[in-house]
């Protein structure tokens, strides 16, 4: 594996600022932010963090560290001459926080109306706060930048950082997956259109979607709720004025609860996964706490598997996989739906149509919604971050409290309730992202505690 040490390295063949258009895929993910708080850990000194980021920035724009965004949000500027000053501004310090303040700090960051740099790292004692615009990339690049920043002196750069990004990764993925037969592409697109329904295909209620999901990937199925009476349908169609009010809930499970869930997944017939099992457990917990849920749900899927070997893209390349109404409470059927969609390359097809549609609309950002259903039901979206090497190898402090990782990504609609799941040191850590003026925060917290505390009992309910 090719690598180089984390020391400054310049390539003087490029002189002066370089301007790079924001890609269609990145623009579709919106201008909202991704944020996470992690700790307690042995946080390197501020200057070491700055030097590490500078070393990465000097490798080129593919690291994303040195990219500056213009006011219109459609063009990056990469300027080697100003990288030192730029990277100095990417690392800030605030007073130390305790583990009891993690959620409050995260909530403050997501409600802050200030416009920070595209990427910013905050030192808060034994905790690190990372904030990044979704235009810069999805959660994968945020983890990568965290890993680069906290690296020990002399550690090698990951090989992906040394490679230039593909200029048209979506086109390469389409060619790799579908070959040069346009009829095959058309067939897959038509199949997805039929499955989603012509009226909903290609629509989104907001320009941003959770964790990089392309709007087309999260196109809705029939929005029928569990209650399908005419009275319920009439009530659900009524709307009231709405404005953004970001909120979150965070819960840590035990190692034993995670073991029990993994055992249940292994011994359950069918291709059940941890993500599909948790989706069902969370939905049932929400209902148990008095929060109505829609019949359909979504799972977030990383579409990099469709890229040719060796092709690098550090931007947004994640799509949503819809789970239709009537199947969202059976982990076996959900697992089969995911497999069928992945095998048919539906996420890739959705991204392709979304990019084309974005190009036709003139690269405009979608306006945020201004209304919400008078009697909202949660559209549950689950993203499984799995086990992250970047966190497993982080310098956690032993004996100073439990490891915490809480994060945030903007829900794509007022009634979206997004669940982010991470496995850390053998236990599950779960964050819910939602709007506090749509769903009651205390009930969401109680549902999250219930779902992560004993998911197996929820899954065994009939």
pLDDT exceeds cutoff 90 at 354? no
Which pLDDT does position 197 carry in this prediction?
A: 40
Provide, rounded to the nearest whole percent, the portion of the chain with pLDDT above 90. 58
CA-to-CA distance for 112 and 221, rounded, in angstroms? 33
Closest CA to 301 of 322, 320, 315: 320
Q: Residue 3: is its pLDDT beyond 60? A: no
Strand-pair category, 404-409 with 213-214: unpaired
**Number of neighbouring beta carbons within 10 Å of residue 54:** 21
d(CA 236, CA 294): 11
Confidence of residue 128 (pLDDT cuts 50, 70, 90): very high
Residues 226, 292 contacting (CB under 8 angstroms):
yes
Q: In this prediction, what percent of the chain has a pLDDT beyond 70?
A: 82
Pick from 40-44, 193-197, 286-290: least confident = 193-197
Three-state secondary structure call for residue 239? strand
Asked if residues 322 and 220 have their Cβ atoms less than 8 Å apart, the reply is yes
- Say yes or no to pLDDT of 363 above 50: yes
Measured between alpha carbons, how far is 320 from 313 in angstroms, rounded to an integer?
18
pLDDT of residue 350: 83
Predicted pLDDT at 124: 97
Average of per-residue pLDDT across 364-392: 90
Does the domain at 18-162 match CATH 1.10.600.10? Answer given as: no
CA–CA separation, 210 vs 412, rounded Å? 6
Q: Is the pLDDT of residue 245 over 70?
A: yes
Strands 91-93 and 75-78: unpaired
Work out the average pLDDT over 310-332: 85
Helix axes 346-360, 169-178, angle to 10 degrees: 140
Nearest Cα to Cα of residue 419 among 444, 398, 436? 444
169-459 has the same fold as 18-162: yes
Residue 351: what pLDDT?
86
* DSSP structural state of residue 423: E
pLDDT value of position 14: 52
Write down the domain spans for the chain: 18-162, 169-459
Structure tokens at 448: 């999250």
- Judged against a pLDDT cut of 80, whether residue 29 lies above it is answered with no
Tokens of 293: 């849920």
Q: Answer whether residue 263 shows pLDDT above 60.
A: yes
Q: Is the pLDDT of residue 100 over 90?
A: yes
Of the candidate ranges 56-70, 315-329, 366-380, 434-448, the one whose mean pLDDT is the lowest? 315-329
Per-residue confidence (pLDDT) for residue 15, from 0 to 100: 64
pLDDT tier, 1 (very low <50, low <70, confident <90, very high otherwise): very low
Superfamily in which the 169-459 domain is placed by CATH: Nonribosomal peptide synthetase, condensation domain (3.30.559.30)
Q: Which residue has the higher pLDDT, 91 or 208?
A: 91
CA distances from 217 to 306, 411, 413 (A): 15, 14, 14
* CA gap 120, 103 in Å, rounded: 18
The DSSP bridge partners found for residue 319 are: 214, 301
Cβ atoms of 35 and 41 within 8 Å: the answer is no
Q: How many other C-beta atoms can be found within 10 angstroms of the C-beta atom of residue 369?
A: 16
- The confidence score (pLDDT) of residue 158 equals 84
Q: What is the 3-state secondary structure (H, E, C) of 145-206?
A: HHHHHCCCCCCECCHHHHCCCCCCHHHHHHHHHHCCCHHHHHHHHHHHHHHHCCCCCCCCCC
| Confidence band for 192, pLDDT divided at 50, 70 and 90 | low
Position 209 pLDDT exceeds 90:
no
State residue 185's pLDDT score. 66
* pLDDT tens, position by position, 147-171: 999 998 888 888 888 888 888 899 9
- pLDDT average, residue stretch 386-392: 94
User: Residue 340: what pLDDT?
Assistant: 86
Mean pLDDT of 370-393: 94
HSE, side-chain direction, 13 A CA sphere, residue 149? 30
**For residues 73-93, average pLDDT:** 95
- Greater pLDDT, 13 or 276: 276
Q: Which two tokens stand for residue 455?
A: 């998911």
Mean pLDDT to the nearest integer, 345-353:
86
Over 60: is that where the pLDDT of 77 sits? yes
State mean pLDDT over 118-122: 96
Confidence of residue 430 (pLDDT cuts 50, 70, 90): very high
């Amino acid at each position: 594996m090719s690598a180089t040490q984390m020391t400054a390295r310049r390539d003087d063949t490029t002189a002066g600022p370089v301007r790079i258009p924001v890609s269609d895929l990145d623009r579709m993910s919106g201008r909202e932010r991704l944020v996470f708080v992690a700790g307690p850990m042995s946080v390197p000194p501020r200057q070491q963090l700055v030097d590490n980021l500078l070393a990465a920035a000097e490798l080129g724009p593919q690291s994303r560290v040195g990219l500056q965004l213009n006011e219109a949000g459609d063009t990056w500027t990469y300027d080697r001459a100003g990288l030192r000053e730029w990277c100095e501004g990417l690392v800030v310090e605030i007073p130390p926080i305790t583990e009891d303040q993690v959620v409050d700090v995260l909530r403050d960051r997501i409600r802050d109306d200030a416009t920070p740099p595209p990427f910013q790292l905050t030192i808060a004692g034994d905790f690190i706060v990372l904030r990044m615009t979704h235009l810069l990339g999805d959660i994968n690049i945020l983890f990568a930048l965290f890993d680069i920043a906290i690296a020990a002196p002399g550690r090698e750069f990951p090989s992906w950082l040394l490679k230039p990004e593909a200029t048209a990764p979506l086109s390469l993925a389409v060619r790799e997956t579908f070959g040069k037969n346009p009829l095959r592409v058309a067939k897959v697109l038509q199949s997805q259109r039929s499955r989603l329904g012509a009226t909903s295909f290609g629509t989104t209620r907001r320009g941003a979607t959770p964790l990089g999901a392309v709007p087309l990937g999260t196109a809705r199925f029939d929005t029928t709720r569990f209650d399908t009476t005419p009275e319920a349908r009439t009530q659900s169609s009524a709307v009231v004025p709405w404005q953004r009010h970001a909120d979150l809930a965070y819960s840590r499970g035990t190692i034993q609860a995670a073991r029990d869930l993994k055992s249940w997944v292994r011994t359950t017939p069918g291709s059940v996964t941890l993500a599909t099992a948790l989706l069902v457990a969370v939905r049932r917990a929400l209902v148990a706490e008095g929060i109505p849920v829609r019949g359909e749900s979504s799972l977030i899927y990383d579409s990099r598997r469709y890229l040719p070997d060796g092709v690098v893209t550090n931007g947004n390349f994640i799509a949503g996989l819809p789970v239709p109404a009537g199947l969202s409470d059976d982990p076996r059927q959900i697992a089969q739906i995911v497999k069928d969609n992945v095998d048919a390359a539906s996420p890739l097809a959705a991204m392709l149509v979304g990019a084309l549609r974005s190009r036709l609309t003139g690269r405009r950002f979608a306006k945020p919604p201004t209304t919400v259903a008078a009697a909202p039901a949660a559209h549950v979206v689950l993203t499984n971050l799995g086990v992250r090497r970047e966190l497993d190898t982080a310098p956690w402090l032993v004996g100073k409290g439990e490891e915490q990782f809480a994060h945030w990504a903007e829900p794509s609609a007022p009634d979206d309730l997004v669940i982010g799941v991470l496995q850390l040191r053998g236990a599950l850590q779960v964050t819910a992202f939602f709007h506090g003026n749509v769903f009651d925060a205390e009930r969401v917290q109680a549902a999250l505690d219930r779902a992560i505390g004993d998911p197996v009992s929820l899954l065994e309910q009939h």
